[in-house]
Chains A and B, each alone.
Chain A
Amino acid sequence: MIRLLWRDITLAFRSGGGFGLGLGFFLILVTLVPFGVGPDGEMLSAIAPGILWVGALLACLLSLDRIFALDFEDGSLDLLATAPIPLEGVVAMKALAHWITTGLPLVLAAPALGFLLHLDSAAYRWLIVTLLIGTPALSFIGSFGAALTVGLKRGGLLMSLLVLPLYIPTLIFGAEVVRRGAGGFLVATPLAMQAGITLGAIALLPFAAAAAIRVALR
């Protein structure tokens, strides 16, 4: 399974692997927002938590359909399904690889982009903490959506429609933690809710995704 994780990470960094895709999108979105809403610092710092979280979420969504579609097209998914690794393990490893190549760079880039949006100084650590806790849920929920649409040509739109509603709780709690952190309020409740969503997604969705892939491979 470590081999699979390592292969997926290697592929993402090789040419055409899509490593920079999510990060680039996140960067573009966040730098464009001040141009769109104007340079008023107070307004920017009020919307910064929401913008950063929405940007991270959309950046994650952008590379989701690659998780299984490429392996389905070149036959790797058939071979992985007959390999000694359980399909649930394949899904979990591919979701983890997606997080490492998409979610983790977003976490690391977010503080710099928060600076561009006048993010309140007290909110930085909560931004990092919530992204670190929340983005794995985006990858695992996304792997489920990608698995459901794996056999479909141009399944990206359908996948976005399936996945976006499932992303909303993570978005609400994530942005809420950052907002409360900026205002100096207690963050324990939304943080615990978000961690619960992430742990639940990691624990349950690989099984659902593996079942969806088995149906798609028939």
Chain B
Amino acid sequence: MSLISVKDLTVSRGGMPVLEGLSFAVSAGEVLVLRGPNGSGKTTLLRTLAGLQPPYAGEVMAEPESVAYAAHADGLKATLSVAENLGFWAGVYGGHDIEPALLHFNLDALRERPAGNLSAGQKRRLGLARLMVTGRPIWVLDEPTVSLDAASVALFASAVKAHVAAGGAAVIATHIDLGFEETVFDVTPFKARMDVVRDDFDEAFL
């Protein structure tokens, strides 16, 4: 039984299709790694999977409210402390304990530090720690390792491993090798054909 699957999915950005004919399924315990050059539509696909934008065509099948999304921006407030930032998201997602997440990402010593004073890598770690307090089974991650050092990448990889071992799944767009059992899915062959005339130009106009 797959946690999230897509069938004949076409995703669009600004009304123009960027990827078409996508079909894949991710089961519990699996990690799907998306590959593709810059601008190939990985982010658009991930935003569609997270439900932030509707599919252009086809469908995404997942339980409602099962996806935790993390993108380039970590959603941190500079004037709130590390613990306050994480505690807020934990509260929004139903009050999970923030301690394991703080400990796992080595943020325990920084808990009272305002997030605005963190380094880029520390902010990223805090953004990723948020995933652990969501309690959601599917992690949809857009280039999660940006600005992380090698040790932090290992921390992140072990968090993903622990998550999928506990019956979760992850869809990750990344350019680096994370070093675990993963299915690589290259989006390049699914690039939408631009020569097809499409009849709904209203969205492109908007």
Contacts and interface: CB of A to CB of B under 8 A. Distances in A.
A186 B79 CA distance: 48
B104 to A, nearest CB: 19
A179 B76 CA distance: 46
Contacts of B67: 82
A82 B71 CA distance: 12
A17 B80 CA distance: 11
Contacts of A84: 65, 92-94
Interface residues of B, number: 27
Contacts of B65: 84
Contacts of B92: 3-4, 80, 83-85
A218 B53 contact: yes
A215 to B, nearest CB: 8
A15 B75 CA distance: 18
A31 interface: no
B156 interface: no
Given A81-B52, A82-B69, A76 B75 contact: yes
Contacts of B186: none
Contacts of A75: 71-75
B76 A74 contact: yes
B80 A10 contact: yes
A128 B197 CA distance: 61
Contact of A82 (B68, B91, B94): B68
Interface of A is mostly: helix
Given A7-B80, A17-B79, A218-B52, A78 B73 contact: yes
A78 B75 contact: yes
Interface string B10-33: 000000000000000000000000
A74 B74 contact: yes
A14 B74 contact: no
Nearest to A218: B53
B89 interface: yes
A36 interface: no
Contacts of B51: 82
Interface in B79-135: 79-80, 84, 88-89, 91-94, 130
A79 B90 CA distance: 12
B48 to A, nearest CB: 10
Nearest to A70: B77
Interface in A127-176: none
Contacts of B94: 84
Contacts of A112: none
A76 B69 CA distance: 11
Nearest to B14: A218
Nearest to A77: B75
A11 interface: yes
A7 B88 contact: yes
B126 to A, nearest CB: 12
A217 interface: yes
Contact of B69 (A3, A16, A71, A79): A79
Given A79-B89, A84-B92, 18 more contacts: A3-B92, A4-B88, A7-B80, A10-B84, A11-B77, A11-B79, A11-B80, A15-B79, A74-B75, A74-B77, A75-B72, A75-B75, A79-B70, A79-B130, A82-B50, A82-B51, A82-B67, A83-B93
11 contacts: A3-B88, A4-B88, A71-B75, A73-B73, A74-B77, A76-B73, A80-B75, A83-B92, A84-B65, A84-B93, A218-B53
Instruction: Please provide the 3 A-B residue pairs with the shortest distance between their CB atoms, ordered closest to farther.
Output: A75-B73, A3-B91, A14-B79
